[in-house]
Amino acid sequence: MKPAVAKILRSSVTAVLALVVIFALWEGYKWLGSQTGDTWPGTAVELPVSSDDIIMPHAGEIVGELFSDIRDGRSTLPLSLFLLKKAWFTLQEAAIGFFLGSAIGIGLAVLMLRWRVAEQGLLPWINVSQTVPLIALAPIIVTWGRNQGLPDIVSISLISTYLTFFPVAVSALRGLQSPDSAHVELMRSYAAPWRTTLIKLRLPAARPYLFPAFKIAATLSVVGAIVGEISIGTKTGLGRAILEFAQRYAVWPERLYASVFGAAALGLFVFGMISLAERLVLRRTDEVVA
Amino acid sequence: MSKGADFPAVQVNGVGMVFNKGATGEVAALDGIDLTIRAGEFVTLIGPSGCGKSTLLRLIGDLLTPTAGDVSVFGRSAHESRTGQDYGMVFQHAGLFDWRKVKANIELPLELRGWSRSDRGARSSEMLGLVKLDEFGDHYPRQLSGGMQQRVSIARALSFQPRLLLMDEPFGALDEMTREHMQGELLRIWGETGTTVVFVTHSISEAAFLSNRVIVLSPRPGRVHSIIDVDLGDRTPDTREDPDFFSAATTIREALRSVGGAE
Protein backbone atom coordinates (compact mmCIF):
# COMPACT_ATOMS: atom_id res chain seq x y z
CA MET A 1 0.00 0.00 0.00
CA LYS A 2 2.86 2.38 0.88
CA PRO A 3 4.24 2.81 -2.65
CA ALA A 4 0.70 3.39 -3.92
CA VAL A 5 0.17 6.21 -1.42
CA ALA A 6 3.51 7.73 -2.39
CA LYS A 7 2.52 7.50 -6.03
CA ILE A 8 -0.78 9.29 -5.48
CA LEU A 9 1.00 11.95 -3.41
CA ARG A 10 3.60 12.43 -6.10
CA SER A 11 1.05 12.82 -8.87
CA SER A 12 -1.00 15.28 -6.77
CA VAL A 13 2.08 17.41 -6.18
CA THR A 14 2.85 17.29 -9.90
CA ALA A 15 -0.70 18.35 -10.71
CA VAL A 16 -0.54 21.32 -8.33
CA LEU A 17 2.85 22.31 -9.71
CA ALA A 18 1.49 22.16 -13.24
CA LEU A 19 -1.38 24.45 -12.20
CA VAL A 20 1.09 26.91 -10.68
CA VAL A 21 3.16 26.88 -13.87
CA ILE A 22 0.07 27.49 -16.01
CA PHE A 23 -0.95 30.38 -13.77
CA ALA A 24 2.53 31.86 -13.97
CA LEU A 25 2.57 31.57 -17.78
CA TRP A 26 -0.92 33.09 -17.98
CA GLU A 27 -0.01 36.06 -15.83
CA GLY A 28 3.41 36.39 -17.50
CA TYR A 29 1.73 36.61 -20.90
CA LYS A 30 -0.71 39.22 -19.63
CA TRP A 31 2.13 41.26 -18.17
CA LEU A 32 4.08 41.05 -21.45
CA GLY A 33 1.01 42.18 -23.40
CA SER A 34 0.38 45.11 -21.10
CA GLN A 35 4.01 46.25 -21.43
CA THR A 36 4.24 46.07 -25.22
CA GLY A 37 0.66 46.88 -26.21
CA ASP A 38 -0.01 43.26 -27.31
CA THR A 39 2.96 42.97 -29.68
CA TRP A 40 6.06 40.80 -29.55
CA PRO A 41 8.82 42.72 -27.71
CA GLY A 42 10.79 45.01 -30.06
CA THR A 43 8.50 44.34 -33.04
CA ALA A 44 5.17 45.46 -34.37
CA VAL A 45 3.97 41.87 -34.73
CA GLU A 46 0.79 41.33 -32.73
CA LEU A 47 0.49 38.66 -30.08
CA PRO A 48 -1.84 35.82 -31.10
CA VAL A 49 -4.26 36.50 -28.24
CA SER A 50 -5.09 39.89 -26.81
CA SER A 51 -4.08 40.13 -23.16
CA ASP A 52 -6.88 42.45 -22.04
CA ASP A 53 -9.02 41.58 -19.04
CA ILE A 54 -12.03 40.47 -21.11
CA ILE A 55 -10.18 37.90 -23.20
CA MET A 56 -7.83 36.89 -20.40
CA PRO A 57 -9.07 37.82 -16.93
CA HIS A 58 -6.51 37.62 -14.15
CA ALA A 59 -5.98 34.08 -12.92
CA GLY A 60 -6.49 35.24 -9.37
CA GLU A 61 -9.84 36.74 -10.26
CA ILE A 62 -10.99 33.53 -11.93
CA VAL A 63 -10.14 31.58 -8.79
CA GLY A 64 -11.67 34.33 -6.64
CA GLU A 65 -14.86 34.10 -8.69
CA LEU A 66 -15.29 30.54 -7.47
CA PHE A 67 -15.88 31.96 -3.98
CA SER A 68 -18.13 34.86 -4.96
CA ASP A 69 -21.86 34.49 -4.44
CA ILE A 70 -24.35 33.67 -7.15
CA ARG A 71 -28.15 33.48 -7.07
CA ASP A 72 -29.62 30.06 -7.69
CA GLY A 73 -33.39 30.27 -7.66
CA ARG A 74 -34.30 31.79 -4.32
CA SER A 75 -31.01 31.05 -2.53
CA THR A 76 -27.57 32.57 -2.82
CA LEU A 77 -24.41 30.45 -2.67
CA PRO A 78 -20.73 30.55 -3.70
CA LEU A 79 -20.10 29.82 -7.38
CA SER A 80 -18.01 26.74 -6.53
CA LEU A 81 -20.95 25.14 -4.69
CA PHE A 82 -23.30 26.27 -7.44
CA LEU A 83 -21.10 24.52 -10.01
CA LEU A 84 -20.88 21.45 -7.81
CA LYS A 85 -24.67 21.25 -7.69
CA LYS A 86 -24.92 21.60 -11.45
CA ALA A 87 -22.12 19.11 -11.96
CA TRP A 88 -24.09 16.54 -9.97
CA PHE A 89 -26.84 16.59 -12.60
CA THR A 90 -24.32 16.41 -15.41
CA LEU A 91 -22.50 13.56 -13.68
CA GLN A 92 -25.69 11.49 -13.58
CA GLU A 93 -26.32 12.00 -17.28
CA ALA A 94 -22.68 11.25 -18.06
CA ALA A 95 -22.73 8.12 -15.90
CA ILE A 96 -25.78 6.73 -17.70
CA GLY A 97 -24.12 7.60 -21.01
CA PHE A 98 -20.88 5.97 -19.94
CA PHE A 99 -22.37 2.70 -18.75
CA LEU A 100 -24.84 2.43 -21.61
CA GLY A 101 -22.17 3.34 -24.17
CA SER A 102 -19.68 0.88 -22.70
CA ALA A 103 -22.24 -1.91 -22.71
CA ILE A 104 -23.16 -1.16 -26.33
CA GLY A 105 -19.46 -0.93 -27.26
CA ILE A 106 -18.62 -4.29 -25.72
CA GLY A 107 -21.74 -5.82 -27.23
CA LEU A 108 -20.79 -4.61 -30.69
CA ALA A 109 -17.24 -5.90 -30.23
CA VAL A 110 -18.51 -9.36 -29.26
CA LEU A 111 -20.80 -9.31 -32.28
CA MET A 112 -17.91 -8.38 -34.57
CA LEU A 113 -15.72 -11.04 -32.97
CA ARG A 114 -18.33 -13.73 -33.48
CA TRP A 115 -19.11 -12.97 -37.10
CA ARG A 116 -16.44 -11.65 -39.41
CA VAL A 117 -19.25 -10.46 -41.63
CA ALA A 118 -20.44 -8.27 -38.79
CA GLU A 119 -16.94 -6.85 -38.42
CA GLN A 120 -16.71 -6.05 -42.10
CA GLY A 121 -20.22 -4.64 -42.17
CA LEU A 122 -20.26 -2.74 -38.89
CA LEU A 123 -16.78 -1.35 -38.40
CA PRO A 124 -16.95 1.23 -41.23
CA TRP A 125 -20.32 2.46 -39.92
CA ILE A 126 -19.00 2.67 -36.39
CA ASN A 127 -16.21 4.88 -37.71
CA VAL A 128 -18.57 6.97 -39.82
CA SER A 129 -20.88 7.43 -36.83
CA GLN A 130 -18.25 9.57 -35.15
CA THR A 131 -18.00 11.99 -38.06
CA VAL A 132 -21.63 13.07 -37.62
CA PRO A 133 -21.46 16.40 -35.79
CA LEU A 134 -23.00 16.22 -32.36
CA ILE A 135 -24.70 19.56 -32.91
CA ALA A 136 -26.64 18.06 -35.81
CA LEU A 137 -27.44 14.86 -34.00
CA ALA A 138 -28.57 16.36 -30.71
CA PRO A 139 -31.80 17.99 -31.93
CA ILE A 140 -32.78 14.75 -33.68
CA ILE A 141 -32.36 12.75 -30.49
CA VAL A 142 -34.12 15.43 -28.43
CA THR A 143 -37.11 15.69 -30.73
CA TRP A 144 -37.40 11.94 -30.91
CA GLY A 145 -37.15 11.69 -27.13
CA ARG A 146 -39.83 14.30 -26.53
CA ASN A 147 -42.13 12.61 -29.03
CA GLN A 148 -41.67 9.39 -27.09
CA GLY A 149 -42.52 11.28 -23.89
CA LEU A 150 -39.08 10.60 -22.41
CA PRO A 151 -37.59 13.01 -19.86
CA ASP A 152 -34.77 15.19 -21.19
CA ILE A 153 -32.20 13.41 -19.04
CA VAL A 154 -32.72 10.32 -21.21
CA SER A 155 -32.03 12.24 -24.41
CA ILE A 156 -28.95 13.89 -22.91
CA SER A 157 -27.65 10.51 -21.76
CA LEU A 158 -28.23 9.12 -25.24
CA ILE A 159 -26.14 11.91 -26.74
CA SER A 160 -23.44 11.05 -24.23
CA THR A 161 -23.82 7.35 -25.12
CA TYR A 162 -23.25 8.20 -28.76
CA LEU A 163 -19.79 9.49 -27.93
CA THR A 164 -18.80 6.81 -25.43
CA PHE A 165 -19.62 3.61 -27.28
CA PHE A 166 -17.06 4.27 -29.99
CA PRO A 167 -13.71 4.04 -28.19
CA VAL A 168 -15.01 1.11 -26.16
CA ALA A 169 -16.16 -0.82 -29.24
CA VAL A 170 -12.87 -0.36 -31.07
CA SER A 171 -10.64 -1.22 -28.10
CA ALA A 172 -12.82 -4.09 -26.92
CA LEU A 173 -12.59 -5.70 -30.35
CA ARG A 174 -8.80 -5.43 -30.29
CA GLY A 175 -8.72 -6.79 -26.75
CA LEU A 176 -11.00 -9.72 -27.54
CA GLN A 177 -8.77 -10.59 -30.48
CA SER A 178 -5.61 -10.26 -28.39
CA PRO A 179 -5.14 -13.83 -27.03
CA ASP A 180 -2.39 -15.57 -28.97
CA SER A 181 -3.00 -18.73 -30.96
CA ALA A 182 -1.62 -21.00 -28.22
CA HIS A 183 -4.32 -19.76 -25.83
CA VAL A 184 -7.03 -20.25 -28.41
CA GLU A 185 -5.70 -23.72 -29.31
CA LEU A 186 -5.60 -24.59 -25.62
CA MET A 187 -9.29 -23.78 -25.27
CA ARG A 188 -9.97 -25.77 -28.43
CA SER A 189 -8.07 -28.73 -26.99
CA TYR A 190 -10.50 -28.62 -24.06
CA ALA A 191 -13.35 -28.62 -26.59
CA ALA A 192 -14.54 -25.39 -24.95
CA PRO A 193 -17.55 -23.87 -26.69
CA TRP A 194 -17.27 -20.35 -28.13
CA ARG A 195 -19.08 -18.76 -25.20
CA THR A 196 -16.79 -20.40 -22.65
CA THR A 197 -13.73 -19.22 -24.55
CA LEU A 198 -15.22 -15.72 -24.53
CA ILE A 199 -15.82 -15.70 -20.79
CA LYS A 200 -12.73 -17.56 -19.58
CA LEU A 201 -10.18 -16.26 -22.09
CA ARG A 202 -11.16 -13.38 -24.33
CA LEU A 203 -12.95 -11.09 -21.91
CA PRO A 204 -10.29 -11.29 -19.18
CA ALA A 205 -7.58 -10.83 -21.81
CA ALA A 206 -9.39 -7.72 -23.09
CA ARG A 207 -9.31 -5.92 -19.74
CA PRO A 208 -5.96 -4.17 -20.23
CA TYR A 209 -7.31 -2.87 -23.55
CA LEU A 210 -10.64 -1.82 -22.09
CA PHE A 211 -9.48 0.44 -19.30
CA PRO A 212 -7.70 3.02 -21.47
CA ALA A 213 -10.87 3.08 -23.61
CA PHE A 214 -13.01 3.50 -20.49
CA LYS A 215 -10.91 6.52 -19.51
CA ILE A 216 -11.46 8.16 -22.88
CA ALA A 217 -15.13 7.20 -22.81
CA ALA A 218 -15.58 8.64 -19.31
CA THR A 219 -14.25 12.06 -20.26
CA LEU A 220 -16.21 11.95 -23.51
CA SER A 221 -19.35 11.10 -21.56
CA VAL A 222 -18.98 14.41 -19.70
CA VAL A 223 -18.44 16.31 -22.95
CA GLY A 224 -21.48 14.57 -24.42
CA ALA A 225 -23.64 15.41 -21.42
CA ILE A 226 -22.62 19.08 -21.47
CA VAL A 227 -23.15 19.42 -25.21
CA GLY A 228 -26.44 17.58 -24.81
CA GLU A 229 -27.60 19.98 -22.11
CA ILE A 230 -26.67 22.97 -24.22
CA SER A 231 -28.45 21.74 -27.33
CA ILE A 232 -31.54 20.65 -25.43
CA GLY A 233 -31.81 23.80 -23.36
CA THR A 234 -32.31 22.11 -20.03
CA LYS A 235 -32.83 24.23 -16.94
CA THR A 236 -30.00 22.69 -15.02
CA GLY A 237 -26.60 21.08 -15.34
CA LEU A 238 -23.13 22.37 -16.08
CA GLY A 239 -23.96 22.87 -19.74
CA ARG A 240 -26.80 25.21 -18.82
CA ALA A 241 -24.49 27.18 -16.49
CA ILE A 242 -21.83 27.43 -19.18
CA LEU A 243 -24.44 28.61 -21.69
CA GLU A 244 -25.69 31.34 -19.35
CA PHE A 245 -22.22 32.53 -18.44
CA ALA A 246 -21.20 32.51 -22.09
CA GLN A 247 -24.00 34.93 -22.89
CA ARG A 248 -22.67 37.32 -20.30
CA TYR A 249 -19.03 36.74 -21.15
CA ALA A 250 -18.40 40.28 -22.35
CA VAL A 251 -19.24 41.72 -18.96
CA TRP A 252 -18.32 38.88 -16.67
CA PRO A 253 -15.61 36.71 -18.25
CA GLU A 254 -14.29 35.32 -14.95
CA ARG A 255 -17.50 33.37 -14.47
CA LEU A 256 -17.25 31.50 -17.74
CA TYR A 257 -13.64 30.62 -17.06
CA ALA A 258 -14.57 29.44 -13.58
CA SER A 259 -17.38 27.27 -14.95
CA VAL A 260 -14.97 25.76 -17.47
CA PHE A 261 -12.91 24.80 -14.43
CA GLY A 262 -15.99 23.06 -13.12
CA ALA A 263 -16.34 21.06 -16.33
CA ALA A 264 -12.65 20.18 -16.33
CA ALA A 265 -12.85 19.12 -12.69
CA LEU A 266 -15.78 16.85 -13.48
CA GLY A 267 -13.83 15.31 -16.36
CA LEU A 268 -10.85 14.74 -14.07
CA PHE A 269 -13.12 13.24 -11.45
CA VAL A 270 -14.58 10.59 -13.77
CA PHE A 271 -11.12 9.91 -15.19
CA GLY A 272 -9.86 9.36 -11.65
CA MET A 273 -12.72 7.01 -10.84
CA ILE A 274 -11.89 4.82 -13.83
CA SER A 275 -8.20 4.82 -12.92
CA LEU A 276 -9.16 3.69 -9.44
CA ALA A 277 -11.36 0.91 -10.83
CA GLU A 278 -8.52 -0.15 -13.11
CA ARG A 279 -6.18 -0.43 -10.17
CA LEU A 280 -8.66 -2.55 -8.27
CA VAL A 281 -9.43 -4.86 -11.17
CA LEU A 282 -5.97 -5.22 -12.66
CA ARG A 283 -4.19 -5.26 -9.32
CA ARG A 284 -1.16 -7.46 -9.65
CA THR A 285 2.19 -7.78 -7.98
CA ASP A 286 5.16 -7.46 -10.25
CA GLU A 287 7.54 -8.87 -7.72
CA VAL A 288 9.63 -11.67 -9.23
CA VAL A 289 10.26 -14.70 -7.06
CA ALA A 290 12.51 -16.98 -9.04
CA MET B 1 -8.37 -51.76 -17.49
CA SER B 2 -9.77 -48.51 -18.73
CA LYS B 3 -11.80 -48.24 -21.89
CA GLY B 4 -9.74 -48.29 -25.04
CA ALA B 5 -6.89 -50.19 -23.45
CA ASP B 6 -6.91 -52.67 -26.33
CA PHE B 7 -6.41 -49.91 -28.85
CA PRO B 8 -3.16 -48.15 -29.63
CA ALA B 9 -2.94 -44.69 -28.09
CA VAL B 10 -2.61 -43.10 -31.50
CA GLN B 11 -3.24 -44.60 -34.91
CA VAL B 12 -2.40 -42.51 -37.96
CA ASN B 13 -3.47 -43.98 -41.32
CA GLY B 14 -2.33 -42.54 -44.63
CA VAL B 15 -2.58 -38.99 -43.36
CA GLY B 16 -1.88 -36.07 -45.66
CA MET B 17 -2.23 -32.40 -44.97
CA VAL B 18 -2.38 -29.67 -47.58
CA PHE B 19 -2.82 -26.08 -46.47
CA ASN B 20 -4.74 -23.64 -48.69
CA LYS B 21 -5.76 -26.52 -50.92
CA GLY B 22 -6.54 -25.40 -54.45
CA ALA B 23 -5.64 -21.80 -53.66
CA THR B 24 -2.51 -19.83 -54.36
CA GLY B 25 0.03 -20.57 -51.66
CA GLU B 26 -0.96 -24.22 -51.51
CA VAL B 27 1.45 -26.06 -49.21
CA ALA B 28 1.71 -29.83 -48.86
CA ALA B 29 2.76 -30.20 -45.24
CA LEU B 30 2.37 -33.94 -44.74
CA ASP B 31 1.99 -36.88 -47.08
CA GLY B 32 1.17 -40.55 -46.52
CA ILE B 33 1.91 -40.70 -42.80
CA ASP B 34 1.33 -44.08 -41.13
CA LEU B 35 2.09 -44.31 -37.47
CA THR B 36 1.09 -46.38 -34.46
CA ILE B 37 1.85 -45.23 -30.95
CA ARG B 38 1.23 -47.76 -28.21
CA ALA B 39 -0.33 -46.84 -24.90
CA GLY B 40 2.26 -45.77 -22.35
CA GLU B 41 4.94 -45.03 -24.94
CA PHE B 42 7.07 -41.92 -25.06
CA VAL B 43 7.42 -41.02 -28.74
CA THR B 44 9.33 -38.09 -30.16
CA LEU B 45 8.69 -36.45 -33.52
CA ILE B 46 11.86 -34.89 -34.89
CA GLY B 47 12.80 -33.37 -38.20
CA PRO B 48 14.08 -30.22 -39.83
CA SER B 49 11.87 -27.15 -39.81
CA GLY B 50 9.10 -27.44 -42.37
CA CYS B 51 8.79 -31.20 -41.92
CA GLY B 52 5.31 -30.79 -40.46
CA LYS B 53 6.00 -32.26 -37.03
CA SER B 54 3.89 -29.64 -35.24
CA THR B 55 1.21 -30.09 -37.87
CA LEU B 56 1.17 -33.84 -37.21
CA LEU B 57 0.81 -33.18 -33.48
CA ARG B 58 -2.12 -30.86 -34.18
CA LEU B 59 -3.76 -33.47 -36.39
CA ILE B 60 -3.53 -35.98 -33.56
CA GLY B 61 -5.10 -33.37 -31.27
CA ASP B 62 -7.82 -32.52 -33.81
CA LEU B 63 -6.73 -28.89 -33.77
CA LEU B 64 -6.38 -29.38 -37.52
CA THR B 65 -8.28 -31.76 -39.79
CA PRO B 66 -6.25 -33.86 -42.26
CA THR B 67 -6.98 -33.47 -45.98
CA ALA B 68 -6.33 -37.20 -46.46
CA GLY B 69 -6.41 -40.28 -44.25
CA ASP B 70 -7.59 -40.49 -40.68
CA VAL B 71 -6.37 -40.32 -37.12
CA SER B 72 -7.73 -42.23 -34.17
CA VAL B 73 -6.89 -41.87 -30.51
CA PHE B 74 -7.61 -44.80 -28.19
CA GLY B 75 -9.90 -46.26 -30.83
CA ARG B 76 -11.97 -43.14 -31.31
CA SER B 77 -11.71 -40.54 -34.04
CA ALA B 78 -9.43 -37.62 -33.23
CA HIS B 79 -12.49 -35.38 -33.15
CA GLU B 80 -14.37 -37.55 -30.66
CA SER B 81 -11.23 -37.78 -28.67
CA ARG B 82 -10.85 -34.00 -28.45
CA THR B 83 -14.49 -33.40 -27.53
CA GLY B 84 -14.09 -36.18 -24.98
CA GLN B 85 -10.96 -34.42 -23.71
CA ASP B 86 -8.74 -37.44 -23.96
CA TYR B 87 -5.50 -35.53 -24.14
CA GLY B 88 -3.63 -32.68 -22.51
CA MET B 89 -1.53 -30.29 -24.53
CA VAL B 90 1.64 -28.37 -23.70
CA PHE B 91 2.93 -25.64 -26.02
CA GLN B 92 6.34 -24.11 -26.51
CA HIS B 93 5.28 -21.07 -24.53
CA ALA B 94 3.61 -22.02 -21.30
CA GLY B 95 0.47 -20.15 -22.37
CA LEU B 96 -0.70 -19.56 -18.83
CA PHE B 97 -3.46 -17.03 -18.23
CA ASP B 98 -1.60 -14.27 -16.46
CA TRP B 99 -4.73 -12.99 -14.66
CA ARG B 100 -5.12 -16.34 -12.93
CA LYS B 101 -3.04 -17.57 -10.03
CA VAL B 102 -0.95 -20.69 -10.65
CA LYS B 103 -3.54 -22.81 -8.86
CA ALA B 104 -6.40 -21.40 -10.93
CA ASN B 105 -4.41 -22.03 -14.11
CA ILE B 106 -4.00 -25.70 -13.23
CA GLU B 107 -7.70 -25.90 -12.39
CA LEU B 108 -8.85 -24.36 -15.68
CA PRO B 109 -9.56 -27.65 -17.49
CA LEU B 110 -11.28 -29.00 -14.36
CA GLU B 111 -13.41 -25.88 -14.18
CA LEU B 112 -14.49 -26.42 -17.78
CA ARG B 113 -15.45 -29.98 -16.90
CA GLY B 114 -17.64 -28.70 -14.10
CA TRP B 115 -15.65 -30.02 -11.14
CA SER B 116 -16.60 -28.69 -7.72
CA ARG B 117 -14.38 -26.13 -6.05
CA SER B 118 -13.14 -28.54 -3.40
CA ASP B 119 -12.34 -31.29 -5.90
CA ARG B 120 -10.46 -28.78 -8.03
CA GLY B 121 -8.51 -27.53 -5.04
CA ALA B 122 -7.55 -31.05 -4.02
CA ARG B 123 -6.40 -31.95 -7.52
CA SER B 124 -4.43 -28.76 -8.08
CA SER B 125 -2.54 -29.24 -4.80
CA GLU B 126 -1.75 -32.78 -5.89
CA MET B 127 -0.54 -31.50 -9.27
CA LEU B 128 1.56 -28.77 -7.64
CA GLY B 129 3.23 -31.55 -5.67
CA LEU B 130 3.82 -33.57 -8.83
CA VAL B 131 5.66 -30.71 -10.52
CA LYS B 132 7.30 -29.66 -7.23
CA LEU B 133 5.79 -26.21 -7.01
CA ASP B 134 3.88 -26.77 -3.75
CA GLU B 135 4.53 -23.28 -2.43
CA PHE B 136 3.66 -21.41 -5.60
CA GLY B 137 -0.07 -22.05 -5.95
CA ASP B 138 -0.99 -18.51 -4.96
CA HIS B 139 1.57 -16.82 -7.19
CA TYR B 140 0.80 -15.24 -10.51
CA PRO B 141 2.51 -16.78 -13.57
CA ARG B 142 4.68 -13.74 -14.25
CA GLN B 143 6.23 -14.15 -10.81
CA LEU B 144 7.67 -17.49 -11.92
CA SER B 145 10.69 -18.32 -14.08
CA GLY B 146 10.23 -19.78 -17.57
CA GLY B 147 10.97 -23.32 -16.38
CA MET B 148 8.51 -23.02 -13.49
CA GLN B 149 5.84 -21.67 -15.84
CA GLN B 150 6.35 -24.63 -18.13
CA ARG B 151 5.97 -26.98 -15.15
CA VAL B 152 2.66 -25.28 -14.34
CA SER B 153 1.63 -25.81 -17.93
CA ILE B 154 2.47 -29.53 -17.62
CA ALA B 155 0.51 -29.71 -14.37
CA ARG B 156 -2.44 -28.06 -16.12
CA ALA B 157 -2.25 -30.56 -19.00
CA LEU B 158 -2.13 -33.51 -16.58
CA SER B 159 -4.71 -32.21 -14.09
CA PHE B 160 -7.57 -34.22 -15.53
CA GLN B 161 -5.36 -37.30 -15.89
CA PRO B 162 -5.50 -37.60 -19.68
CA ARG B 163 -4.20 -40.80 -21.19
CA LEU B 164 -2.31 -38.84 -23.81
CA LEU B 165 -0.03 -35.85 -23.47
CA LEU B 166 0.80 -33.86 -26.62
CA MET B 167 3.85 -31.64 -26.27
CA ASP B 168 4.94 -29.13 -28.91
CA GLU B 169 8.59 -28.20 -28.26
CA PRO B 170 7.73 -27.53 -24.63
CA PHE B 171 11.32 -26.87 -23.55
CA GLY B 172 12.39 -25.02 -26.70
CA ALA B 173 12.39 -21.63 -25.01
CA LEU B 174 14.36 -22.72 -21.93
CA ASP B 175 18.08 -22.47 -21.29
CA GLU B 176 20.16 -25.65 -21.49
CA MET B 177 20.43 -26.27 -17.74
CA THR B 178 16.72 -25.76 -17.09
CA ARG B 179 15.96 -27.84 -20.12
CA GLU B 180 17.91 -30.87 -18.90
CA HIS B 181 16.33 -30.53 -15.49
CA MET B 182 12.86 -30.37 -17.03
CA GLN B 183 13.56 -33.43 -19.16
CA GLY B 184 14.39 -35.38 -16.02
CA GLU B 185 11.24 -34.08 -14.33
CA LEU B 186 9.10 -34.99 -17.32
CA LEU B 187 10.43 -38.57 -17.34
CA ARG B 188 9.71 -38.85 -13.62
CA ILE B 189 6.15 -37.59 -14.16
CA TRP B 190 5.73 -39.90 -17.13
CA GLY B 191 6.86 -42.80 -14.93
CA GLU B 192 4.46 -41.80 -12.15
CA THR B 193 1.40 -41.24 -14.35
CA GLY B 194 1.85 -43.83 -17.10
CA THR B 195 0.57 -41.30 -19.64
CA THR B 196 1.37 -41.76 -23.32
CA VAL B 197 3.50 -38.86 -24.54
CA VAL B 198 3.92 -37.54 -28.07
CA PHE B 199 6.70 -34.99 -27.99
CA VAL B 200 7.80 -32.65 -30.78
CA THR B 201 11.37 -31.39 -30.69
CA HIS B 202 14.20 -30.37 -32.96
CA SER B 203 16.86 -31.28 -30.41
CA ILE B 204 18.66 -34.56 -31.06
CA SER B 205 19.86 -35.02 -27.49
CA GLU B 206 16.38 -34.30 -26.16
CA ALA B 207 14.87 -36.92 -28.46
CA ALA B 208 17.50 -39.50 -27.52
CA PHE B 209 17.21 -38.84 -23.80
CA LEU B 210 13.43 -38.86 -23.55
CA SER B 211 11.94 -41.34 -25.95
CA ASN B 212 11.23 -45.01 -26.43
CA ARG B 213 10.96 -44.31 -30.12
CA VAL B 214 12.05 -41.43 -32.31
CA ILE B 215 10.09 -40.73 -35.49
CA VAL B 216 12.31 -38.92 -37.99
CA LEU B 217 10.36 -36.86 -40.53
CA SER B 218 11.64 -35.60 -43.86
CA PRO B 219 10.54 -32.19 -45.09
CA ARG B 220 8.24 -30.78 -47.80
CA PRO B 221 6.01 -32.68 -47.75
CA GLY B 222 6.59 -34.31 -44.38
CA ARG B 223 7.00 -38.08 -44.59
CA VAL B 224 8.12 -40.67 -42.07
CA HIS B 225 11.78 -41.26 -42.96
CA SER B 226 12.68 -43.71 -40.23
CA ILE B 227 11.64 -44.89 -36.81
CA ILE B 228 14.47 -45.35 -34.32
CA ASP B 229 14.06 -47.43 -31.18
CA VAL B 230 15.93 -46.09 -28.20
CA ASP B 231 16.55 -48.40 -25.29
CA LEU B 232 18.46 -46.73 -22.52
CA GLY B 233 16.59 -48.25 -19.57
CA ASP B 234 15.83 -45.93 -16.66
CA ARG B 235 17.25 -42.50 -17.38
CA THR B 236 19.41 -40.81 -14.79
CA PRO B 237 21.61 -37.72 -15.15
CA ASP B 238 24.45 -40.20 -15.89
CA THR B 239 22.56 -41.47 -18.92
CA ARG B 240 23.74 -38.33 -20.73
CA GLU B 241 27.30 -39.65 -20.54
CA ASP B 242 26.39 -43.23 -21.42
CA PRO B 243 27.89 -44.57 -24.71
CA ASP B 244 24.44 -45.96 -25.60
CA PHE B 245 23.03 -42.45 -25.32
CA PHE B 246 25.68 -41.15 -27.72
CA SER B 247 25.12 -43.95 -30.19
CA ALA B 248 21.35 -43.29 -30.11
CA ALA B 249 22.04 -39.61 -30.72
CA THR B 250 24.38 -40.51 -33.56
CA THR B 251 21.76 -42.72 -35.21
CA ILE B 252 19.22 -39.89 -35.01
CA ARG B 253 21.76 -37.36 -36.29
CA GLU B 254 22.61 -39.52 -39.29
CA ALA B 255 18.94 -40.00 -40.09
CA LEU B 256 18.44 -36.24 -39.92
CA ARG B 257 21.46 -35.62 -42.17
CA SER B 258 20.09 -37.96 -44.76
CA VAL B 259 16.80 -36.03 -44.87
CA GLY B 260 18.72 -32.79 -45.23
CA GLY B 261 18.10 -31.34 -41.80
CA ALA B 262 20.92 -29.78 -39.86
CA GLU B 263 20.41 -29.72 -36.11
Whether A200 sits inside 8 A of B88 (CB atoms) is no
Which candidate, B180, B173, B131, B170, places its Cα nearest to that of B152?
B131
What are the residue ranges spanned by the domains of chain B? 1-86+163-171+196-263, 91-161
Chain B residues touching A285 at Cβ < 8 A: 140, 143
The alpha-carbon gap from B243 to the nearest alpha carbon of chain A, in Å, equals 35
CB atoms within 10 A of CB B221: 20
Chain A residues touching B88 at Cβ < 8 A: 189
Instruction: Output the pLDDT for position B263.
Output: 42
What are the residue ranges spanned by the domains of chain A? 2-56, 80-281
Whether B61 sits inside 8 A of A288 (CB atoms) is no
Instruction: Output the pLDDT for position A288.
Output: 39
Identify how many contiguous H helices and E strands chain A contains and give both numbers.
11, 2
Identify how many contiguous H helices and E strands chain B contains and give both numbers.
8, 10
Interface contact A288, partner B, CB < 8 A: yes
Cα B252 off chain centre by? 19
Cα separation, A39 vs A25, in Å, equals 16
Which candidate, A210, A209, A192, places its Cα nearest to that of A201?
A192
Cα separation, B58 vs B66, in Å, equals 10
CB pairs under 8 A between A and B: 62
Q: Please give the mean pLDDT across all residues of chain B.
A: 87
Q: Which helix (H) or strand (E) holds A228?
A: helix A203-232
Residues in chain A: 290
Superfamily of chain region B1-86+163-171+196-263: P-loop containing nucleotide triphosphate hydrolases (3.40.50.300)
Instruction: Output the pLDDT for position B42.
Output: 93
SS3 assignment, position B27: strand
Superfamily of chain region A80-281: MetI-like (1.10.3720.10)
Cβ-based neighbours of A80, under 8 Å, separated by 6 or more: A66, A67, A258, A262
Please work out, in degrees rounded to the nearest 5, the angle formed at the alpha carbon of residue A108 by the alpha carbons of A103 and A109.
100
Whether A204 sits inside 8 A of B93 (CB atoms) is no
Cα atoms in the 13 Å half-sphere on the side-chain side of A13: 6
> pLDDT (tens digit, 9 = 90+) per residue, A232-258?
877 788 888 888 888 888 888 888 888
> pLDDT (tens digit, 9 = 90+) per residue, B236-263?
878 888 888 888 888 899 888 888 754 4
Runs of H (alpha helix) within B113-213:
117-130, 146-158, 176-193, 204-210
Instruction: Output the pLDDT for position A285.
Output: 44
Of the candidates A191, A196, A200, the beta carbon closest to that of B83 is on A191
Residues of chain A below pLDDT 50:
285-290
> pLDDT (tens digit, 9 = 90+) per residue, A187-241?
999 989 999 999 999 999 999 999 999 999 999 999 999 988 888 877 788 888 8
> pLDDT (tens digit, 9 = 90+) per residue, B153-164?
988 988 888 889
Its pTM stands at: 0.80
Q: Mark which residues 177-206 of A lie under 8 Å from B by CB.
A: 180, 182-183, 185-186, 188-192, 196, 200-201, 204-205
- Are residues B203 and B48 in contact, defined by beta-carbon separation less than 8 angstroms? no
Interface contact A285, partner B, CB < 8 A: yes
Which is it for the CA torsion B211, B213, B216, B221, positive or negative? Answer: negative
- Are residues A105 and A169 in contact, defined by beta-carbon separation less than 8 angstroms? yes
Which candidate, B57, B53, B67, places its Cα nearest to that of B219?
B53
The DSSP 8-state label assigned to residue B263 in this structure reads -
